[in-house]
Amino acid sequence: MSIITSSYIALTGIANPHVNRVLPNAYGDRSGTNYLNPAAFALPIAGTLGNVASNSVAEPGTWQFDMAVSRTFQLREGQRIEFRAEAFNVEQLPHGPE
């Protein structure tokens, strides 16, 4: 997830700029009500951009993996066919309010 602010503090025309991370551990107890530690983030100084990169904080209950499956079938001597399937960035996202 990306940690941003709606305050127009950067004075650069960038909407929703990133904030600064001021503590090394950005997480609280990782429960549903205290997943992130709010004290780990602060607004950047006016006219500057924050130091938190996009998607640098893991969301609760997410995982991601890449996979590939292939199979070669021998048709005749000297002839074969290969079936291949690949999936990248397969991920499970947390369920939000519905």
Site of tokens 């991920």: 91
Please report the pLDDT score of residue 98 as a whole number: 40
Site of tokens 């005749």: 76
**Contact call for residues 96 and 62 (beta carbons, < 8 A):** no
Q: Is residue 8 part of a domain?
A: no
Q: Is residue 54 part of a domain?
A: no
Q: Is residue 74 part of a domain?
A: yes
Q: Is residue 55 part of a domain?
A: no
Kindly report the pTM of this predicted structure.
Answer: 0.48
Q: Is residue 53 part of a domain?
A: no
Task: Report the C-alpha gap between 66 and 7 in whole angstroms.
Answer: 37
Contacts of 69 (CB under 8 A, 6+ apart): 84, 85, 86
Q: Is residue 22 part of a domain?
A: no
Please report the pLDDT score of residue 81 as a whole number: 95
Please count the structural domains in the chain: 1
Range of the domain at 74: 63-92
Q: Is residue 70 part of a domain?
A: yes
Query: For each successive 10 residues of the chain (98 residues), what is the average pLDDT?
Result: 72 73 82 80 80 77 82 92 89 53
Q: Is residue 69 part of a domain?
A: yes
